[in-house]
């Protein structure tokens, strides 16, 4: 797997742009792309100011500190004990201050969303897979940072797509 970025689409955008699988009609809201910085960043495709306003792409900041949960001393001890004879010890050992972001910290509405100005001015290809195993390719055309066209292609997953 190469490096990519993730794009989430808001429910409004999914509805308005018809982001659905043409095979099973399932809605599609999570995609990957290699057309941006390919830096494992997360972007959000949404209306600039509510329904009816232009659709733009926003860069999401890392989850806010307030969603950070530190492991307790007990959790750290229990985790590290279990690693005594593990080859993964160096990587999986937890220290004071280690922790994780709560799931809700990753929700777009709980993250700072950076307006990308008039960028991108391009066709952005994003791709994903449907639960029915179809491969989804979506070309999103931006002009001056605003979505002007969306093309969806839905194809059967080939065996060769799964080997990378």
Rounded to whole angstroms, the Cα distance separating 100 from 118 reads 34
Can you list the positions of beta strands (E) in the chain? Answer: 5-9, 30-33, 42-47, 55-60, 68-70, 99-101, 113-115, 123-129, 134-143, 146-156
CB of 156 to Zn ion, least distance (A): 10
Q: Which is nearer to Zn ion, 23 or 113 (CB)?
A: 23
CB of 129 to Zn ion, least distance (A): 9
21 touches Zn ion (CB under 5 A): yes
- Contact mark string toward Zn ion, 88..127, x via CB under 5 A: ----------------------------------------
26 touches Zn ion (CB under 5 A): yes
CB 70 within 8 A of CB 97: yes
Point out which residues pair with 24 in neighbouring strands: none
Q: Give the binding site for Zn ion (CB under 5 A).
A: 21, 23-24, 26, 130, 132, 134
């Amino acid at each position: 797997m190469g490096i990519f970025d993730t794009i989430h689409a808001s429910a409004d955008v999914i509805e308005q742009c018809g982001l659905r699988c043409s095979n099973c009609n399932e809605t599609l809201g999570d995609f990957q792309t290699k057309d941006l910085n390919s830096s494992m960043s997360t972007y959000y495709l949404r209306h600039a100011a509510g329904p009816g306003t232009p659709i733009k792409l926003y860069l999401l900041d890392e989850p806010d500190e307030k969603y950070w949960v530190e492991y307790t001393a007990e959790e750290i001890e229990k985790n590290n004990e279990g690693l005594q004879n593990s080859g993964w010890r160096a990587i999986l050992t937890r220290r004071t201050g280690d922790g994780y972001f709560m799931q809700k910290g990753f929700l777009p509405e709980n993250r700072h969303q950076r307006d990308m100005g008039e960028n991108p001015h391009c066709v952005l290809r994003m791709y994903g897979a449907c639960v029915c195993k179809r491969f989804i390719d979506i070309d999103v055309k931006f002009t001056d940072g605003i979505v002007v066209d969306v093309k969806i292609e839905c194809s059967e997953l080939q065996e060769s797509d799964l080997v990378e």
